[in-house]
Structure formats: structure tokens, C-alpha cells
Amino acid sequence: MVKKNDCRRDDSCFGRERSLEIVEEVLKLSRADQTEVRLTGFQSSLTRYANSVIHQNVDEINARLSVKAYVGKKMGSVSTNRLDKESIAKTVERALELAELSPENPEFVSLPGPRPIPEAQCYFESTAAATPYDRADNVMEVIAEANKAGFQAAGAHSTGVNEIAVGNSLGVRAYGKSTSAELTCVIMSDEGSGYAQASSRDIANIDAAQVAEEAVRRCLVNKNQIAIEPGEYAVFLEPYAVAEMVSFLSSMGFSAVSYQEGRSFLCGKLGTEIVSPLINICDDGLDPRGAPFPFDGEGQPKSRVALVEQGVAKNLLYDSFAAFKEGKKESTGHYPRGMASNLFLYALPEDSVSQEELMSGVKRGILVTRFHYVRSVHTQKTIITGMTRDGTFLIEDGQVVSALKNLRFTESILNALRSTEGVGREQKLIGTSYSVVAPALRLGKFNFTGQAEH
């Protein structure tokens, strides 16, 4: 009999000392004008289940060393996962060679200098110590809940440890270690399905029974679906759907790079009201309600950046390249390319309401559990398309009255958020490597353009 803790491996991380030692070794080897080194190490495991059995179960230990060399304004970048001395030396030398071959990038100013790195609790021993048996136990709990209802279960349960060390020739030195745990769950009957998920840096916060219960509850109601004519409806979006929408919005234009290139939907709109005054959006790499991490891939500290305040577009997300290009002193800690990492959509406390109040305000509308296969149709108009999935319901007078066949929507996110009628008080964390914390939303108008067969 294999004991559960036989699976634990303590050798899956470099640790602070060894990581920063490697960074120093690389910087010492480099003859470039400026050099940036990034060392990542990770151990990630994922247990996947379908048809109520574990059918895929995998584990990876890997590392990557990336070296960016600058000769004046010329840059070369080389990375490898071979970390023997010879490979490291070759990587450093090749980065310099590439930089020398590259034409100048006149927009490059400099790598960033050192700044103090704040504290953030992002590593939990409980997650790092999780074994395949721990993941299997959680999955078996989900399967047991599904079995009780006579349903099938499918999904994935992942755990992982990530560490990153960043250094550059201007004195940046940063090291951090984080953990992540996620459980997703689709419960299926012959008639319909239900979804739930949980994410946390601490696996102790993943309550498999609760996740399963939430998905089973949706699946129980999701039967005898009726077809509804596509068109414009009021919607109650569960946090899963809201999170997807806000992460798309972020990718369409909160990055300073896309703004500078004229591709952002925010071009010409900073300082103006773009959505309902009920809506606030920020990125806060330090907020523990999300999945925090204290610095970005350039070793620059993260902080709270208000993106939308009471409906007004306020700020953009910068990496050092974009910040220096505009003459700013420092980035907002969003390398690469102004990418958000810990997004929040929320209403001010006085503007937010309970889930029940939110629902009771829907006279006739559609409840969407989550979206599926969402894609951008027109970035500047923030138009996206996708399907509803795993629980779409008709609401009348604040009550779910019927399950609906899944619907296709084609809608501008800004238009949808302009019609916000209510924002939920309770928030849910979705994802850990790119996390969004979102409440439920009630929108006055949402455009459905097609229908699935199920």
C-alpha cells in the first residue's frame, strides 16, 4: 500500500538562495550593456476526470532561464530549460550575439531600476504538499455527489508551485514563490448540465463537496429546456460569466501598449464615462481576495491600479517599456505588455446588493451561469460572441421559471455594462495564474443572436 505522503517531493523548487545565485551567475557572465535575467521553476499537477472516472493524471517539473541582452538599443533574447553550466553560458553568449545582430529599437529607453517589493501571501505549504491522492480524494468527493443524484461528473483538479527570480544589471533583484489550486466541475444528466469551480492559492480553501453541490444544484434545475427567440433581454450574469467578460474587456484595451498603438477601445475615452457609474474595475496584484503576487516579470512591484471608477475610464496598465516611452518614471508592474493579473470588478458598498435583491429586480430576463468559447469580434467596439453553457434559465418576476436551451450572444461589452442595473455584493475568485474577482451582475440589455440545440 502506498502511503499518501510518499508522493511529496521537496526538490521541486530552487529556493530563494539558489535562484538568486543563478541570477547573479548569469549577470556576471553577461557582457551586454544591460541584461535582464528571469528564472522560473514550477511543479504542476493536474487530475482530470470525465464520465465520473479519473482518465488523465499528470505531473510536470520544469524550469526556464530567460536572458535578455541589450547593446545600446538593440535587444536579443534567449531562453532554455537546460540549466547545466555550459547551457547557461551558451544562453548568455547567444543573447548578446542576437542583440548585436538586431537593428536598434529607437523606442527602447532602459531596463527598470530596483524598487522595493511589497509583501504578499501567495505561498501555502498545504498546496505545495498536495499529492495525487489528495487531488483524487477531492475528485472522488465530486463524483460521489454526482452519483447520489444519478449524474455524471467531469472536470479537472490542479495544484502547483511556481517560483520566479528576476534580476537585472541595474540592480533589480526579486524572488517569489506561489502556489495555486483549482477545481472545476461540470455535472451532467441526460437532460442538462451544471457548473461550478473553486480557485485559491491555498488548497485548504477548495471545498470539493461545496463545488459539487453547487454544480449538482444547477444540473437538477437544468431540465426540460425550452427554446426562446434570440433577441435583446435583461440578464442576470453569474460571477463566472462576469469574470469572462471583464477579462476580455481588459485584453481589449487596458494595456498602455495597445493604447499607444491606437488599438485600444479606450483611445480617446480616458477620463470619460464608458460604462454605468455602478461599475468599478481595478487590477490589484496585492489584494488577498484574488490570487496575489507582489511583482511582475521585470521585478517591478505591483500595486492597485484603478482602471474604471464609477463608470469613468481612469488609468492604463504599464510595463517599463511602455512607461518609459511616455516619459513616466516607472511602470505599474504589468509586464509583459500591460497585462492584468488580478482583476476586480465591483460596486461601492453602498451601491452593491445581495444576490437575492439582484435577482428580484429581473421582471423578465435570462440567467446565465457561464459563457463558452468567447471570442472578440471587434476590439475597438468591444464586441464579443460566445455561447451560454451549463445552466441558462428564464427568469420572470425575480424567479427562475424554466431552463432554456443554450443561446449565442453577440454584444459590445461596453454597451452591456452601460445597462448595468445592479451589482452583487458577494464576489468570487476565478482562476489563479490570471485571476478575476467578480460579483453577479444584472444588466438591462444583452443581445442574444442565435441558439444551440441543447
Name 430's bridge partners. 436
Among candidates 53, 113, 102, 57, which has minimal Cα distance to 76? 102
DSSP code at position 44: E
Cell numbers at 138, concatenated: 477531492
Q: Considering the complex, what minimum distance in angstroms separates the CB of residue 322 from another protein?
A: 13
Question: Alpha-carbon distance 289 to 429, whole Å?
Answer: 7
Cβ closest to another protein, residue 312 vs residue 452 = 452
Q: Considering the complex, what minimum distance in angstroms separates the CB of residue 9 from another protein?
A: 8
Cell numbers at 132, concatenated: 495525487
Cβ closest to another protein, residue 2 vs residue 116 = 2
CA 117 to chain centre: 22
Cβ closest to another protein, residue 310 vs residue 412 = 412
Cβ closest to another protein, residue 29 vs residue 50 = 50
Cell numbers at 125, concatenated: 505549504
Cβ closest to another protein, residue 122 vs residue 383 = 383
CA distances (Å), origin 132, targets 58, 125, 145, 192: 9, 15, 20, 30
Among candidates 17, 5, 342, which has minimal Cα distance to 177? 17
Among candidates 305, 306, 184, which has minimal Cα distance to 240? 184
Burial of 154 from C-beta contacts in 10 A (0-12 / 13-18 / 19+):
buried
Q: Is the N-terminal amide bond of 336 cis, ω within 30° of 0?
A: yes
Q: Return the SS3 of 20.
A: helix
Q: Considering the complex, what minimum distance in angstroms separates the CB of residue 18 from another protein?
A: 9
Cβ closest to another protein, residue 56 vs residue 303 = 56
Amino acid identity for residue 263 in this structure: R
Among candidates 91, 95, 85, which has minimal Cα distance to 34? 95
Cβ closest to another protein, residue 179 vs residue 427 = 179
Q: Considering the complex, what minimum distance in angstroms separates the CB of residue 444 from another protein?
A: 15
Q: Considering the complex, what minimum distance in angstroms separates the CB of residue 129 from another protein?
A: 15
Q: Considering the complex, what minimum distance in angstroms separates the CB of residue 6 from another protein?
A: 7
Question: Alpha-carbon distance 366 to 344, whole Å?
Answer: 24
Q: Considering the complex, what minimum distance in angstroms separates the CB of residue 310 from another protein?
A: 24
Using an 8 Å Cβ cutoff, are 36 and 170 in contact? no
Q: Considering the complex, what minimum distance in angstroms separates the CB of residue 292 from another protein?
A: 22
Q: Considering the complex, what minimum distance in angstroms separates the CB of residue 8 from another protein?
A: 11
Cβ closest to another protein, residue 105 vs residue 121 = 105
Pair type for strands 352-353 and 420-424: parallel
Cβ closest to another protein, residue 12 vs residue 331 = 12
Question: Alpha-carbon distance 197 to 65, whole Å?
Answer: 33
